[in-house]
Amino acid sequence: MIFKSTRLTPWLFSLTATAALLLTLLGAGRLSAQYQLTRQVYETKTNTWVQVTSLFGKLPAYGYVPIRVEINNGTKVDRDLSLEFTSKDLSAFGTETGSRMSSSFECSCEAGKRETFDFLVPVTTVFQTSGYGSGSELRMNISCNGFPTTSGTMSTELSNQWPSVIVSSALYVPNASALTSQLSGGSMSSSNIEFGGSFDPKSMPTDWRAYLGQDVIMLTSDDWSKLDPGARTAILEWNRFGGRLIIYSSSASVNFGSLQIDSDEAADTGSRIIQRSMGTVSILSLPSSGRLDAAKTYSMLGAGVIAPSRRSQPVKPGFASSGYSTTYYSMLYDYAGTWPLENILGQKHFNTAFFVLILLAFGILIGPVNLFVFAKAGKRHKLFITTPIISLGASALLVILILFQDGFGGRGHRVVLMEIQPQENNAYIIQEQAARTGVLLGSSFETSEPALMSPVALAPSRWARVVTDGTAPSSYTANEGDDGLKASGDWFQSRSIHGHLLKTVRPTRGRIELSPRAGAPVLTSTFDYDLGTIYYQAKDGSWWKADALSKGNSVTLSPSSASDFHSWLLAQSQLFSKGNAQHINDLATLPGRFFTLTEDAPAIETYNSVKWLSTKTLMTGRIAR
């Protein structure tokens, strides 16, 4: 039976539209543009309040999360705020077998004023995994003089098989529900992993470290124009480390020139993808409806996450240049296999013979000798003297034996990938380091410059303290220091093997310059340290080589070949983990570059008690003309 009513039809239409709007908002709610950790109104009468917000709608699996603190002080007293953060590594079932990272910050607001403060809060690297995913949680306590303490919590479910994605609010509102549903129906069907977090382009951080935990950033060309210039610079710096920047536009006239994004390789005005160092930037078409094809977007971002791709095939717009598109996956598994640096350290053998002899001698002394010689019948009261003396002596011998076998401090090896961008006066540095420690007398240190520092999971052994799904959680502290990251806790533990990954953007005036003359190329170095073997590929594709290039000097190159260069590069890339070795291979496809090896370039310094036996730096970059 069908009823028709001119009065009922508009009402049904209105109800349907309202329901559709609610469903859209509920679906989009799974990806919040910004996550509010707390908003505390201290005094309603004076409108005194504090609000703490995460600028990204999700937590990364490692790195930093940008936090904004806003305070309106309507009182007549200056207010001091203290913020304490604890980042926790949790499994999907909420257990606390993982590690944690602690940090603290302070700020103040004068009476009658409103202030805004931005902080970079370090988060622990998530090493707890399961078939149902893993999670990261951030807890916060904030204290303000004269008012009660308040707290807030934020959590995110993660997967090492899906890249960490953040999406601008203009894209996520119409697409959040469909994208997450597509993800739930694909490889992540056994978990509640969300497609990504969201952000407000007008509130993006201006520090490159804030983005390092992300693999993909998606936004529109209009969003790009709304970004603060400092935020655009920070995103482009993140991009050079291997990030995938995807820009959607509904205008065919938008290109990399109009977006003011430079490329490391020649690209015509119609190009839709460029490579910048280890990352890519893509321009994709945005439908007039603003709705993306969920299946194609899922395929684009999920392709090649585990298996490395072959660069013999051209990279498609939006796709990763390297098969290892998640650094999180690399941290979990690349170093736990055949990591070259750990192999260089070699196996540490525990000499048990001496310990067995000392314990045997202790047993004989504390037992029959003590009972029948030192405190024989009639002198049993001497047991109260001889027993402690024998125990202390045995303990002293064990300590001396441990010190003799392990020593103080530690020894290690480092490899550094340094990518030079002379037009930016920047060096992009990725550093891997492995160290074996003896007895350590302290745990505090400060890095030589602002940097990301993260432990990496090693193969399980009696000496490894960080492993995937380990049962011995670590505790870290990281704060802003005078020069770099001020750290303490379990970054370095006594009698252990440790692996770390570090990244930084270092200002530099050093460069390799090409002299404008006919004949064999002449290269000049402005670096303040000597360089070893150096290769250069000219514009015509020919290869040139020199055995060395000393600081501040020039050298005339000799002809070489592509096979000679690739054999040399293979030997250097084999010093790195799989993911960073793939980055090196990606860089080798870019024209007009130099490649060189040096042992004199400065590394990112960490714990002073570790003696670094070798520091090898593979340098590459664009030639300055």
Average pLDDT over residues 532-558: 94
Evaluate if residue 354 carries a pLDDT over 90. no
| pLDDT confidence band for 351 (50 / 70 / 90) | low
pLDDT tier at 473 (50, 70, 90 boundaries)? confident
**Is residue 297 in some structural domain?**
no
Residue at a domain's end among 125, 158, 191: 158
Percent of the chain at pLDDT > 70 equals: 83
pLDDT of residue 191: 63
The answer as to whether 418 is a domain residue is yes
Instruction: Give residue 315's pLDDT.
Output: 67
Task: Tell me if 478 is assigned to some domain.
Answer: yes
Please tell me which of 441-445, 460-464, 484-488 the model is most confident about, judged by mean pLDDT. Answer: 484-488
Instruction: Indicate the pLDDT class of residue 379, thresholds 50, 70 and 90.
Output: confident
pTM of the model: 0.86
Q: What is the mean pLDDT of residues 439-454?
A: 94
- Residue pLDDT, tens place only, 251-273: 989 999 999 998 776 555 567 89
Q: Given pLDDT bands bounded at 50, 70 and 90, which one contains residue 318?
A: low
Residue that finishes a domain, picked among 122, 137, 158: 158
Is 517 inside a domain boundary?
yes
pLDDT at 131: 56
For 583-624, what is each residue's pLDDT tens digit? Answer: 999 899 888 899 999 999 999 999 999 999 999 999 999 998
Q: Write the pLDDT tens digit of every residue in 26-55.
A: 443 344 468 999 999 999 999 999 999 999
Evaluate whether residue 414 is within a structural domain: yes
Reply yes or no on whether the pLDDT at 311 is more than 60: no
Buried b (16+ CB within 10 A) or exposed e, 435-458: bbbbbbeebebbbbbbbbbbbbbb
Task: Judge whether residue 305 has pLDDT over 90.
Answer: no
Q: What is the pLDDT of residue 186?
A: 63
CB-based contacts of 189: which residues, under 8 Å, 6+ apart? Answer: none
pLDDT in tens, 104-154: 999 999 999 999 999 999 999 999 886 556 889 999 999 999 999 999 999
Torsions phi, psi for 466 (to 5 deg): -120, 115
pLDDT band at 370 (very low <50, low <70, confident <90, very high): low
Q: What is the pLDDT of residue 19?
A: 43
**Better-predicted residue by pLDDT, 281 or 348:** 281
- List, for residues 189-237, the tens digit of each pLDDT value: 456 788 999 999 999 999 999 999 999 999 999 999 999 999 999 999 9
For the segment 477-483, the average pLDDT, to the nearest whole number, is 96
Beta pairing, strands 522-525 & 512-514: antiparallel
pLDDT of 95 above 80: no
Contact assessment for residue 434 and residue 499, using Cβ atoms and an 8 Å cutoff? yes
* Mean pLDDT computed over every residue of the chain: 86
How many domains is the chain partitioned into structurally?
A: 2
> Do 267 and 230 touch, CB atoms closer than 8 A?
no
The reported pLDDT for the residue numbered 120 is 97
Model confidence band, residue 560 (pLDDT cutoffs 50, 70, 90): very high
410, β-bridge pairs: 437, 610
**Residue 313 CB contacts under 8 Å (≥ 6 apart), including other chains:** none
Q: What's the CA gap between 376 and 456, in Å, rounded?
A: 57
State the residue range of the domain holding 441: 410-625
Quick one: pLDDT at residue 16?
42
Which is more confident, 394 or 527?
Answer: 527
Last residue of a domain, one of 92, 127, 158: 158
In a domain, 465, yes or no: yes
Task: Residue 47: give its domain's CATH number.
Answer: 2.60.40.10
pLDDT above 90: percentage of residues in the chain: 63
Positive or negative, the Cα torsion across 473, 59, 291, 244?
Answer: negative
pLDDT greater than 60 at residue 14: no
Tell me whether residue 501 is in a domain: yes
Least confident of 61-75, 181-195, 522-536: 181-195
Tell me, yes or no, whether 361 lies in a domain: no
CA dihedral (91, 92, 95, 100) in degrees, to 10, reads: 40
d(CA 365, CA 377): 16
In this structure, is the dihedral angle defined by the CA atoms of residues 21, 22, 28 and 32, taken in order, positive or negative? positive
pLDDT value of position 414 = 97
